Structure 1
Amino acid sequence: MKITNSSEKITPFGGFNFVIESFKNSGLSMLIDNHLGSRVKTVGFSYSDIFINHLAVYLNGGDCTEDINDHLRGHLQNVRGMRVCSADTILRGIKELATDTLFMENPDSGVKHGFNLNPKLNNLLVKGLIQTEQLKTGIFYDLDYDNQVQPTEKYDAEKTYKKTNGYQPGIASISNPDTGQAMPVYIEGRNGNSQAKYLQEETLERVFSNLGDNGIKVGRFRADSASYQKKVVELVERQGSLLYIRAKRCAKMDGMIGSIAKGDWKKIRLGIQEMEVADIQEYFPFGGEKPYRLVISRIKRKDSQTDIFSGEAYTYRGILTNDRESSNSEVVAFYNARGQSECLFDVMNNDFGWAKMPCSFLSENTAFMIMTAIYANFYSYLIAEYSKKLSWLKPCYRLKKFIFRFITVSAKWIRTGRKHVLKLFTQKDYSPILT
């Protein structure tokens, strides 16, 4: 075997040339600089430069900020119109955008909780979706809220209920009506010792306020049992939204489930799962006087262990809702679709760096999480737009598949006819993107 070397400036990531053009043409660069303002005059890179460089790490196969120094810098210098900065510059930018963490002590337990809100970046998160028309004013959207334990050994990370050190950020997302993908619209940094239900009403009030200030309306709200709280239910209703919240079982609920007649259970199939559904039209949760509808689903237990109240071998789950119009099967199907929002944590961990937090403190890592959520939303926009023009891309592709099929193409810039032309070493036709 013989080899020969070439000094030609050929990059293996030629597809990123199209990405940076799309980022600028979408208006996101201008939005970032207008919203975040200028950095100090002695600093050579704007915030949009930092965002583009940070985005380049993940869209060129990196998984941590330092990859721009170790593997990508030389290749990115061959991307026209891109000013390449170092990992240190990106990290300084993240720290500049961080806000102080608020500490609150629970008077009942004495536990000190840390919350990081960062309203400016969260506002940019929503404005970015509006800029790319992934969200539009005047339309009612489905909003999901969830918390996720994020294991990390950072300096200020506290012990989580899973017995690991880490954070437990809260993330609100909206389902894209066209693709069904979950788009982050609000991220709140919480330390690992802060349970999802603690002060959740205040968190959700900030979520609704941020969306409302940007003209985004919420038609339906969906959440797990950590949101099964009187204050949360009342807050959602004040917003004029329908709610679908996993109800916590209690003796009162179990007694009412046990009294449902056998003939009232209806068999349905959701995907590959068979279950039976029924509802309780007048259910009074939290010892209150206002009735809600409780939709019950039950699935046959494999171990045949009988339920103490019903006397039958089923696993029961309840959904609290103020929706009086949808059928039982429609309510259950809508609630179960929140699995897409839970997949969002997998996307952020594995595609956009959450598994490798870059900074030492919750304040800085919250800024990092919101910035990478902006990248995730831009990627959703990008793959949706490109897949309309290129038959060999699909809107459902995860980032890794997109990198293999689109980004990794050998390319070099040549000058001909007084113009710079991108020469791609492939038989794939990229030209429809330019139309």
Structure 2
Amino acid sequence: MNKLISTPLGILVTLALSAPTHASLYNAVVAQDGSGDYKTIQEALKNAPQNDSLYTIYIKNGTYNEKLEIERPNLYLIGESQADTVITATTASGTVKDDGSTWGTTGSRTVNINADHFSARNLTIANGFNFPANQEKADDDPTKIKSTQAVALLISKSGNHAQFKNVSLEGYQDTLYIKSPMNYFDQSKISGHVDFIFGYGGALIENSQIISRDRNDVSEGNTYGYITAPATNIEQPYGFVFKNCQLNKESPDIPENSFALGRPWHPTTTFEDGRYADPNAIGHTAFINCHIDDHIYGWDKMSGKDINQNTIWFYPEDSRFWEYHNKGKGAVNDSNAYRPQLSDQQTKQYSNSNILDGWTPDISLPENSKLQGEVLNAAMQFPATVEVIDSVGQKVISLTDKKLSL
């Protein structure tokens, strides 16, 4: 028979024993068909204990049409599968609410992380606003939305230390909006076109796919979009850092040199002497050891308003935009495009520990990790076969001695 042992981060250890014992990996299970504890994620959140303990919610496959506000720390969402466990809402900035007002960019988000130490893995967070269909409407069509920003995931200032693995973020304009300084993504997918990773916060994004989406509303030769739009404060050393990522295009129809790595966002801010583009938002983005497809041409400029509400331009040369040892057709540009490269010495400052200010995300086990424990069953013979199953079904089978050294 088997004994199931739950361990941190949803690891399940199956041991050959004489009688079965079961321990749940999750605090709550959500399933639309009623087979779980709750039918909606919102219900599970509502019934979570109001303390700082780790609370893990397993979400079975399905499309959950919910706008979620995460206000409890140490919450962990685990989906049954990355592609088929989908959290989505269909709200753009210009979508009209019941009271006649519009949602705005921040309000358009599907999920808002507003508490510390949130984790998610093996699911999709999407904004289902249909940008292509909206753009096909005539300009005088009253149903056409002019403000098309539609955020899938917002990490608010109070949502620091969020971490994601095997998560897909899907949208078009403004897919991922980050306000807090230290967050982590591993083996994930982020898709969009205009400024689809943006904000004045920061994130380390590793081993992930950054997917630029096709458009039907851009004339030939014009820019399709911008991967990042950082508004990093000059006092903050790191904004968006991409390591070992794949910068791909959604369709082979997307032309060469149609997307920028990023452009500097200086958000309109209220100061004592007026309201104008923040001069201290000296954006930071770095792409390190990434593979870049041919849709990328470099960096670009972005406009803002001065104190007199005149249009002014901010240029990549005045920002903190960097690359290092990138490969692929989009990493080499024969034009005179601005493509500053980090030196080997400068790259030493881009350790994970420096980027995350000493915080170590634990959603991905480090290399050469060991699972340790003790088997308390005198009838077992060693070495014994142990099967380790994580919370998304990945298995490792190994021989073990009595102390469970794998």
Q: By the TM > 0.5 criterion, same fold? A: no
Q: Choose between structure 1 and 2 for higher RCO, CA contacts under 8 A separated by at least 6 residues.
A: 1
TM normalised by structure 2 equals 0.32
Query: Which of the pair is proportionally richer in strand?
Result: 2
Query: Which of the pair is proportionally richer in helix?
Result: 1
TM normalised by structure 1 equals 0.30
